[in-house]
Amino acid sequence: MGDLKAARTRREFFVTAAGAAAFAVAPGAVQAEPADVAAAIEKAFGGKKAVEGKIKLDLPSIAENGLVVPLNFEVESPMTEGDYVKTVRLYAEGNPQPTLADYHFTPMSPKAAAQIRIRLAKTQNIVAVAETSKGEVYTTKKEVKVTIGGCGG
Amino acid sequence: MTTPTPRVRMPATAKAGEVVEVKTLISHEMESGNRKDKDGKAIPRKIIKQFVAKFEGKEILKADWHPAISANPYQAFWVKVPASGTFTFEWTDDDGAVYKAEQKVTVG
């Protein structure tokens, strides 16, 4: 008996979770595609070639709640007048709008780093692109699996 | 909607040149513009679109936020304390309202 009850509860849970997921990706919602992100990066960085590396991007591998996903980044840089990270742009390949946030640092910033919380609609890649004052462009990406989407339907 | 209340947590004293972490939080719904109300009408976007941190009027960092930033935006980052002075923090809303907070830091 106890098992039966447990099984039902589990089934109910899955039904509820599936319903919530369906709601999050309701038809009509326009989702960004990787090509949109590539085009946005191309536009923002003027076609400069991005090199993999230098950016540490921390996100959970699995996010149970897409409404609040912690994101932490840090770009390796001396952060001096002559050599600092000017801009860091963050993108989400599977959100209705691919842009997450853009950070503009100055030599007054001791670290090109920040911690924020973001919304993710579904399982997708997060892309970070950084540009230094010398014009070097670095990029990195990380996949986040999202159990329940957080962008509304 | 209630008036957004900013909160800032950082040390009030530091050594000259010390690098300290600043943690900020502001209460705000961050309405993404993607949601619909129960009648199927789109709920208009209303988010905080920009955050700026300054020391004695000089910009340290500026962030442009898009609708993917979670409600009640949390923002942590690092600053250097060159001397005694005031750090100011400003959040700009889509409707133009600016919410401000400041923190005096003493070097001693």
Q: Please state, for a pLDDT cut of 70, what percent of chain B lies above it.
A: 99
Exposed/middle/buried for A18, CB within 10 Å: 0-12, 13-18, 19+?
A: exposed
- Quote ipTM for the complex: 0.94
Which stretch of A27-31, A93-97, B94-98 has the lowest confidence by average pLDDT?
A: A27-31
Whether residues A109 and B61 touch (CB distance < 8 A) is answered with yes
**What gap in Å lies between CA B68 and CA A90, rounded to an integer?**
10
Q: How many contacts does A have with B, using Cβ atoms within 8 A?
A: 100
Structure-token match 């996903």, residue found: A69
How distant is the Cα of A47 from the closest Cα of chain B, in angstroms?
21
B12, two tokens: 């009030």
Residue A27: pLDDT band (50, 70, 90) is very low
pLDDT in tens, A97-114: 999 999 999 999 999 999
Residues linked to residue B25 through DSSP beta bridges, in sequence order? B7, B74
For chain B, domains (ranges, CATH) are: 5-34+42-107 (2.60.40.10)
Architecture of domain A31-146: Sandwich (2.60)
Residue A32: pLDDT band (50, 70, 90) is confident
**What gap in Å lies between CA A122 and CA A120, rounded to an integer?**
6
State the best of B23, B61, B79, B90 to mutate against chain A, taking most chain A CBs within 10 Å: B61
Q: Chain A residue with minimal CA distance to B21? A: A114
Per-domain boundaries in chain A = 1-30, 31-146
Whole-number average pLDDT of chain A = 85
**What gap in Å lies between CA A98 and CA A136, rounded to an integer?**
23
